[in-house]
């Protein structure tokens, strides 16, 4: 009896080293201001199979419009 529970949250990707579809392990590579860069590693040989950028929380504040300094006074010419 070999009970196998397919409780893998990560998907399987084809690994050229293992020459077969292998389950992958997600690893956090970088934390960018725009999101997080994850890498999918083969659980068999540990080679990088894919990368993914997950968009983080929406923290992009709207850029405030620069104040226009068009209040220039022209001298009146008589």
Please give the residue ranges that form the binding site for Zn ion (CB under 5 A): 15, 17-18, 22, 42, 44-45
Among the listed residues 78, 28, 36, the one whose alpha carbon sits nearest the alpha carbon of residue 57? 36
Least distance from Zn ion to the Cβ atom of residue 16, Å? 8
Judged by CB, which is closer to Zn ion: 17, or 32?
17
Judged by CB, which is closer to Zn ion: 26, or 36?
26
Tokens of residue 23, six digits: 């389950």
Least distance from Zn ion to the Cβ atom of residue 33, Å? 32
| Inter-residue contact 15 to 49 (CB < 8 Å) | yes
């Amino acid at each position: 009896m070999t009970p196998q529970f397919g409780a893998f949250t990560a998907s399987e990707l084809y690994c050229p080293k293992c020459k077969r579809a292998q389950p992958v392990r997600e690893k956090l590579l970088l934390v960018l201001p725009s999101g997080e860069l994850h890498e999918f590693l083969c659980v068999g040989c540990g080679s990088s199979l894919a990368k993914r950028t997950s968009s983080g929380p929406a923290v992009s504040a709207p850029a405030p419009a620069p104040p226009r300094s068009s209040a220039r006074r022209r001298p009146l010419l008589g």
